[in-house]
Amino acid sequence: MEKYGILIGRFQPFHNGHFKIIQQIILDGKTPIIVIGSVNKNDEKNPLSFRQRRKIITNIYPDIDIVAMKDYDCWGKWVEAVTKSLDYFDGEKTFYVHQKEDDFRDFIFNGKTYKNSHYMDVFKDSGFEINDVCKHTCPIGLSIDATKVRKFKEYALGVLDARTYKSLEEIDFWKEK
């Protein structure tokens, strides 16, 4: 049976923390699947299109499976959409996550109250395996501030793969806004 490691993110842009998670999935003997979120957004926090993000990622991982996921106003619709999009992949699925402090919220999903919880708790309660990579890899540098990457070219240089940095330079990513 095929084993998959799933990474959900906006990848605005794909940085070395994401790279390290994909590497961990591969080291764990799983086939990576990337779910690129917020494909229906274009704003300061989401400046790159889905196509641009997919191109950047496939420059590094040419054969990786990528799923596009739009944002929904309802948790239930979003979780259902993510789950349905992964039905295509027949096998064992593990979500890989780096739980950041600002990802924890109070919310209600399917009648259950979640207090100071991460959205991955919904998938865990639905029977998916969750691998919190921070337990293993945070000391080697997963905590990258994507806002700083989008704002400061000098910061980005130290936390982006050279191919990603070059792709962003080619589209004049850091031009004066």
Mean pLDDT, rounded, for 57-62? 97
| Domain assignment present for 89 | yes
Query: Could you identify the residue written with the tokens 């390290």?
Result: 20
- CATH code of the domain in which 33 resides: 3.40.50.620
Residue 32 has pLDDT above 60, yes or no: yes
Angle at 152 (CA atoms; ends 100, 67), nearest 5 degrees: 50
Q: What is the pLDDT, as a whole number, of residue 140?
A: 47
| Domain assignment present for 175 | no
Tens-place pLDDT, residues 109-167? 888 888 888 888 888 888 899 998 875 445 445 578 899 999 999 999 999 999 999 99
| Domain assignment present for 98 | yes
pTM of the model: 0.90
| Domain assignment present for 177 | no
Domain that holds residue 59: 3-170
Q: Look at the chain and report how many structural domains it folds into.
A: 1
Q: What is the pLDDT, as a whole number, of residue 138?
A: 52
Mean pLDDT, rounded, for 86-113? 86
* H or E element in which residue 112 lies: strand 112-118
| Domain assignment present for 42 | yes
